[in-house]
Structure 1
């Protein structure tokens, strides 16, 4: 049976995550995402997705040390980054560096350790490329910071506040994995040929680059920029609705109820909103916009999606839009590698049929 885009076709059985759009449920390893990530660090959530159980104190210490050890990029890789044309996009640069990340020590690692190494190295690659693109010196990673805080440190060259780290970590944890999305499928297809893990991540990054999948939530940023202050929310939204414009950040192609990730990001923003004007604006805007949408479009059930609060969090931590998709990738590499490892355990090469419709 032909289905355009393979919509509704089951191609994989997985124990990593499930997405129930009608119920508005996302589960990591069988646990509702809020249960799996509540109070957890990036390191703890990554461990759970990779290994299928929550880390003990010893297991977490080992993973943390491994991630720290793989933060140091080989000198040749830094040299490769420096030779790329200045106009190279960050996503293209990330693909290039991951593809070149094939030194002897890495090749000798078993697959799980390669997954950890790539996860640790990708934020460093991203920061290196970003700093180069704005004409600033590379800031070396620190060994005394968490995965999330270190990424912010390398991007900005200044210590992130606890509020900034907490907000970004919540976003990273909630976007690590989301079932059989396009980039995850690409990673599994590549690894199914018995190619290597780096190649699988290159495939995933190339897929994530596409605006239909990993495109930055620029529309939400433009909306919040236009609103600017709580007093202008109603006026701006009513004008857009009167002109038939789409309200960015509302509605989702999978979830028919609220996006569970948006709910958790909203809760985090509510906790932190008094410490940040942008988070405060986002919380107030969502409430007012939802009210207006329900009044103007009854029965449509238009809820915020993950991009709405992702945009607010990125703006609150002063993350430039060019880093939105790379940062999404820094989270999702955990899911990509988890799926690639699962594919390796019971592998059959993907080889779907095509239906000829030519003359």
Structure 2
């Protein structure tokens, strides 16, 4: 057994997976053999979920059956909706509210008592959790903003239905297509912190209703999913400062602060998801008649690359993309969870299929020869 210390488990192989492949030097991301470029351009989120959960792209009949089964699960039980309402009225953090509400779904899941390794039950639970997360996020946001929730519809796609529940009107084709693409881009990314957290939990044979809230908790941090909110808040700060983008970025770094959205544990070049979303950010800006956010971003990107050798990650362009779609900044990370839940479920299914308790070691560096003194003598 090696005693080599690998902080953060960097470079340590802990599992084998058929789900996603990342080439950090080439800037390549593949889901089950398919390039992210092809899937983002041509596949829906529902198709990619099917691919991850079932191992192949669905034919028309399989896709229709899968989509119908998942869309039928969008409605929340009254108890869950009441919980969401109480969290919104208490002004709870959106990710904390999502974590709590998802955990509560087990109370009304007909498969809640199934064996944790029952694959068919897990697929049904996974469909329900994935279908209900958008409803939770939209209801929480509307209640918090003084509006009543909009009931989900079964005749809309996963992406369309969320935007409909959030805004109270059907999205146009461009917004729906852009949002669906963003969901595809975020659904899986190897053994990132939130995915690994879900796997660790499931390795104990805890069920999906325990593993998925664990993933949500891990995703909420600013070094993971919370970075997209940090990026948009930084861009808004830049806009209010009146400075040129490069001047602003220089001032941030000279003050010992960081420019969020740059660098990645895996990629040494531009994140392929950032490349795809930067084009979408530009297209949305052109449609709105203002390229301000896109130009801010590209100016900072070029300078960071030339001066610091850092490339943008997916958060750097997902932020301006969501913002231009009219999505509130503080639900950017819940939307990340809305997509990534599909990957969490896929990895948990793999973990259950070939389970071994995940139990690493820590190197003890404390004292070993302390003499115990009774409390009255201390």
TM-score (norm 2): 0.86
Equivalent residue for 1:238?
Answer: 247
Q: Which moved more, 1:59-68 or 1:213-222?
A: 213-222
CA 151–192 in structure 1, closer or farther in 2 if over 3 Å, else same? same
Give yes or no for the alignment of 1:117 onto 2:109.
Answer: no
Give yes or no for the alignment of 1:87 onto 2:95.
Answer: no
Q: Which moved more, 1:173-182 or 1:239-248?
A: 239-248
Q: Which moved more, 1:56-65 or 1:154-163?
A: 154-163
- Is the Cα contact below 8 Å between 1:261 and 1:306 reproduced in 2? yes
CA 42–353 in structure 1, closer or farther in 2 if over 3 Å, else same? same
Q: Which moved more, 1:99-108 or 1:285-294?
A: 285-294
Instruction: Return the offset for 1:53.
Output: 1.2
Equivalent residue for 1:316?
Answer: 324
Structural mapping, 1:285-296, within 5 Å: 285-293=296-304
Equivalent residue for 1:32?
Answer: 35
Cα distance in 2 between the residues matched to 1:339 and 1:170: 21
- Is the Cα contact below 8 Å between 1:286 and 1:304 reproduced in 2? no
CA 170–276 in structure 1, closer or farther in 2 if over 3 Å, else same? farther
Cα distance in 1 between the residues matched to 2:93 and 2:305: 40
Count of matched residue positions in the alignment of Structure 1 and Structure 2 = 352
Q: Which moved more, 1:119-128 or 1:211-220?
A: 211-220
Cα distance in 1 between the residues matched to 2:361 and 2:238: 49
TM-score (norm 1): 0.90
Structure of greater Rg: 2
Cα distance in 1 between the residues matched to 2:325 and 2:352: 38
**3-state SS in 1 of match to 2:110:** helix
Structural mapping, 1:131-280, within 5 Å: 131-225=142-236, 228=239, 235-241=244-250, 244-245=253-254, 246-277=258-289, 280=291
- Is the Cα contact below 8 Å between 2:19 and 2:31 reproduced in 1? yes
Instruction: Return the offset for 1:216.
Output: 4.2
Pairing partner for 2:137 from 126, 132, 156: 126
Pairing partner for 1:78 from 81, 86, 92: 81
Cα distance in 2 between the residues matched to 1:3 and 1:26: 25
- Is the Cα contact below 8 Å between 2:245 and 2:300 reproduced in 1? no
Pairing partner for 1:105 from 104, 110, 114: 110
Cα distance in 1 between the residues matched to 2:261 and 2:318: 9
CA 77–220 in structure 1, closer or farther in 2 if over 3 Å, else same? closer
Which ranges in structure 1 are unaligned for 5 or more consecutive residues?
none
- Is the Cα contact below 8 Å between 1:97 and 1:125 reproduced in 2? yes
Q: Deviations over 1:226-279 (max 9, x none)?
A: 5659xx88x33235426745444343332111111011112333444421346x
Q: Which moved more, 1:329-338 or 1:120-129?
A: 120-129
Cα distance in 1 between the residues matched to 2:18 and 2:252: 46
Cα distance in 2 between the residues matched to 1:136 and 1:80: 16
- Is the Cα contact below 8 Å between 1:257 and 1:301 reproduced in 2? no
Which ranges in structure 2 are unaligned for 5 or more consecutive residues?
115-119, 368-378
